[in-house]
């Protein structure tokens, strides 16, 4: 299993969390994993009894953290397209 990462170790976590709350304040960032062999962060978002998983490249997050406005726009586009897609949300078995 890929290692779970605390939010304070995820580049640009605050940008992601803010954007998600703007889209739908019932969505929470449930867990974040770092996949070392692919250099990506895998975000698990929860909304009621469904989960959406979004993979975001580490380089993109580092660029956003460094203040690159174009990268932030790309990041927001990625998040928005997944969050707003019904295909992303899968029922979570309890």
- What pLDDT is stored for residue 37 in this prediction? 86
Asked if residue 94 belongs to a domain, the reply is no
- What pLDDT is stored for residue 1 in this prediction? 57
Interatomic CA distance for residues 45 and 54, integer angstroms: 8
- pLDDT for 2-58, tens place per residue? 689 999 999 999 999 999 999 999 999 999 999 988 899 999 999 999 999 999 999
Distance of CA 79 to the CA centre of its chain: 7
- Provide the domain count of the chain: 1
DSSP labels, 26-49:
T-EEEEEEEETTTTEEEEEEEETT
Collapsing DSSP states into helix, strand and coil, what is residue 57? strand
Asked if residue 1 belongs to a domain, the reply is no
Asked if residue 80 belongs to a domain, the reply is yes
Task: Give this prediction's pTM.
Answer: 0.91
Asked if residue 43 belongs to a domain, the reply is yes
- Give the domain range for residue 78: 7-87
Interatomic CA distance for residues 51 and 61, integer angstroms: 21
Distance of CA 61 to the CA centre of its chain: 10
């Amino acid at each position: 299993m890929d290692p779970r990462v605390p939010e304070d170790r995820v580049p640009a976590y605050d940008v992601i969390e803010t954007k998600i709350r703007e889209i739908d304040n019932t969505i929470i960032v449930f867990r974040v994993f770092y996949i070392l062999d692919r250099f990506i962060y895998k975000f698990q978002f929860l909304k009621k009894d469904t989960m959406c998983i979004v993979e975001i490249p580490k380089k993109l997050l580092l660029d956003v953290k460094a203040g690159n406005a174009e990268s932030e726009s790309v990041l927001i586009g990625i998040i928005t397209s997944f969050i707003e897609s019904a295909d992303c949300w899968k029922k979570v078995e309890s």
